[in-house]
Amino acid sequence: IALEGFELRVLHIPLVAPFTTSFGTESVREVIVVRALTGDGDGWGEIVTQHAPLYSSEYTHGAWDVAQRFLIPALLDAHTVAPEQVAGILDPFIGHRMAKAGVELAVLDAALRTEGRPLGEYLGAVRDRVPSGVSVGIQHDAATLVDTVRGYLDEGYVRIKIKIKPGRDVAETAAVRDEFGAIPLQVDANSAYTLADVDTLAELDRFDLLLIEQPLAEDDIVDHATLARRLRTPICLDESITSAKAAGDALALEATSVINIKAGRIGGYLEAVRIHDLCRDAGVPVWCGGMLETGIGRAANAALAALPGFTLPGDVSASSRFYARDIVTEPAVLEDGHIAVPTGPGLGIQIDPAALDEFTVDRVELRR
C-alpha cells in the first residue's frame, strides 16, 4: 500500500465505571488512534498504552513520541509497504510493541480495505462469532463484587475474570464461587505477588479456577515455573508474553500452561497469529486478552479470537462494558453471550467522526 501519511490522536474516553486492578484505577481511557493515509483510502489502528507505565513499561506519551520520531518516519521512507513488511521495517527499534502494533494495524486495515477483504478471513478465522468473557475490576468489598458479577452474568457473559491483589483474593474468589456455583471463573493478579505468597495462591486451588493470570512479575519466568509446580490451578501468563519468542520460552520452561494473547501489546495481530500457531502446535490453549479497546481494537480482537486455537473465552466483551459512547458507528454488542466477528473489509468498522472529535485531546499529522 502507498503510505502518504499518518494522523495520530490522543483520546480521552470516559469509562462507564472506574476500573481497578492491582496496579491502579482508571476512570478515563487514554488511548492513541492511528489513521494511515493512503492513496486508496484510510486505515485505522489503536495504540493500547495507558496513561502511566504501571501495567507495561509503555505509556501513552512515550508511544506518542516514539511513533512520531521513529516508527512513522521509517514507514513513510519505505513508502510502498505491505502489512507483512511493517514489523520488519520497525524491528530495528527495540521494544515499543504497543506503538508498533497500533501502527501496523492501521496499515493492515488500509491494505485489506483496498482488497475488500475482512481481517478475520485474512488472519484465519474459523468462526463468525466468539464467546465473550468479562474482566471485573477490584470492587469496594466482596458483596459489591458479587453484585457486579451478577449484573454481567445476567447480561449473558459466559466467563468471569476477577482482578485480585494481596488481601483482596481468597475471600473475594470464595464469595463469587459460593454465590454462583460452577460458572467458568478465573482470576488476574497483574503481577501483584511474589513466590513468598505461594501459600495464599495455593488456597485458590480449592475454587476450581480455569486459571490464574500473571501472579508474578513480568520477567519472573523461572519463578512462575516454580510456582506452577506448587499449584493445581493452571498459570496463564499475560504481561510476560511479550512476543512469540517469549511465549515459546515460557512454554519450554513450563512457566505457563495457558496463554493470554494480547495483540495490541505483543507487537501486532501478525505476531499474535504466530503465538496462536505455536501454541496450537504444542496443544496449549489460548484466549484473546483485551486492553479496554475502542471499537477499532475490539473489532480486531473479535477477528483474532475466531482462530481455531482460541479454545477459551477471552476478554472480548461488548463495547458497553467500558463505554457509553464508542468511536465507531456500530460498537460490539453482546448477543447470546457472543460477539460477532465483523464481516466488512478490513476491520469492518466505520469511524464515527463526531465521537472521534469529541474525545480527541491532541492531534498530529505526519506526511511524506
DSSP string, 27-63: EEEEEEEEEEEETTEEEEEEE---SSTTSSS--HHHH
Closest CB 52 distance from ligand OSB, rounded Å: 12
Closest CB 276 distance from ligand OSB, rounded Å: 17
Closest CB 186 distance from ligand OSB, rounded Å: 11
Query: Measured at CB, which residue is nearest to Mg ion?
Result: 238
The span from the CA of 238 to the CA of 242, in Å, is 8
Q: Which of the listed partners (ligand OSB, Mg ion, none) does 315 bind, with a CB threshold of 5 to 8 Å by partner kind?
A: ligand OSB
Closest CB 69 distance from ligand OSB, rounded Å: 25
262 is catalytic: yes
Q: 100, 161, 163, 165: which is the annotated catalytic residue?
A: 163
Q: 100, 161, 165, 262: which is the annotated catalytic residue?
A: 262
**Binding map of ligand OSB across residues 10-49, x = CB under 6 A, - = no contact:** ----------------------------------------
100 is catalytic: no
User: What separation in angstroms does the CA of 170 have from each of 6, 126, 183, 186?
Assistant: 47, 38, 17, 12
Q: Which of the listed partners (ligand OSB, Mg ion, none) does 292 bind, with a CB threshold of 5 to 8 Å by partner kind?
A: ligand OSB
**Binding map of ligand OSB across residues 46-75, x = CB under 6 A, - = no contact:** ---------x--------------------
C-beta separation of 242 from 95 below 8 A: no
Residue numbers 183-222 binding ligand OSB by CB under 6 A: 188, 190
The span from the CA of 184 to the CA of 347, in Å, is 29
C-beta separation of 348 from 171 below 8 A: no
C-beta separation of 347 from 119 below 8 A: yes
- Region from 93-101, 148-156, 249-257, 289-297 binding ligand OSB, contact rule CB under 6 A: 289-297
Beta-bridge partners for 339: 130
Q: Which of the listed partners (Mg ion, ligand OSB, none) does 55 bind, with a CB threshold of 5 to 8 Å by partner kind?
A: ligand OSB
- Region from 178-186, 209-217, 263-271, 295-303 binding Mg ion, contact rule CB under 5 A: 209-217
Which residues contact residue 99 at a Cβ distance below 8 angstroms, ignoring those fewer than 6 apart? 47, 49, 58, 62, 63, 66, 67, 71
Candidate list 125, 291, 303, 327; residue touching ligand OSB; CB under 6 A:
291
Residue among 287, 290, 280, 294 at smallest CA distance from 314: 287
- Which one-letter DSSP state was computed for residue 186? E
Residue numbers 294-333 binding ligand OSB by CB under 6 A: 315, 317
DSSP string, 263-326: HHHHT-HHHHHHHHHHHHHHT--EEE---S--HHHHHHHHHHHTSTTB-S-BS---GGGT-SS-
Candidate list 43, 83, 120, 289; residue touching ligand OSB; CB under 6 A:
289
C-beta separation of 103 from 6 below 8 A: yes
Burial call 4-30: b when 16+ CB within 10 Å, e when fewer: eebbbbbbebebeeebbbbbeebeebb
- Region from 70-78, 112-120, 288-296, 356-364 binding ligand OSB, contact rule CB under 6 A: 288-296
Residue among 321, 317, 250, 331 at smallest CA distance from 287: 317
188 binds Mg ion (CB under 5 A): yes
Closest CB 115 distance from ligand OSB, rounded Å: 29
Q: Which is nearer to Mg ion, 31 or 212 (CB)?
A: 212
Q: Binding-site residue total for ligand OSB (CB under 6 A)?
A: 11
Residue among 295, 368, 330 at smallest CA distance from 11: 295
135 binds ligand OSB (CB under 6 A): yes
Q: Which is nearer to ligand OSB, 162 or 284 (CB)?
A: 162
C-beta separation of 235 from 215 below 8 A: yes
Candidate list 238, 271, 293, 326; residue touching Mg ion; CB under 5 A:
238
The site for ligand OSB (CB under 6 A) is made up of: 55, 135, 188, 190, 238, 289-292, 315, 317
The site for Mg ion (CB under 5 A) is made up of: 188, 213, 238
Give the active site residues: 163, 262
